[in-house]
Amino acid sequence: MNTNTSKSWWQQYREAVRRSRLHQELLMLLHGQQDQAQRLINLEKSKNPGHLETWYLNKVIYDLRKEA
């Protein structure tokens, strides 16, 4: 079994599920405004390059909740 650098299918699946849940949470906070969600994610990507997609989603959600 190859356990070196590649992620197992289970890790990839869990990451995809987590990403999907965070995206849904972000859309809920933005009342379904997909374009606004993508703008916020892109802004964080430009300010903090090199992170996983889940990091950006968590950061945007955190910032929105902090502002509320």
pLDDT in tens, 17-45: 999 999 999 999 999 999 999 999 999 99
Q: Is residue 48 part of a domain?
A: yes
Residues in contact with 4: Cβ distance below 8 Å, sequence separation at least 6, in sequence order: none
pTM for this predicted structure? 0.84
Q: Is residue 3 part of a domain?
A: no
- Work out the pLDDT band at 53, boundaries 50, 70, 90: very high
Q: pLDDT value at position 68?
A: 81
pLDDT of 61 over the 70 cut: yes
Amino acid at 42: N
Structural domain boundaries enclosing 30: 9-67
Q: Is residue 32 part of a domain?
A: yes
- pLDDT above 90 covers a percentage of the chain that reads 88
Q: Is residue 35 part of a domain?
A: yes
Domain count for the chain: 1
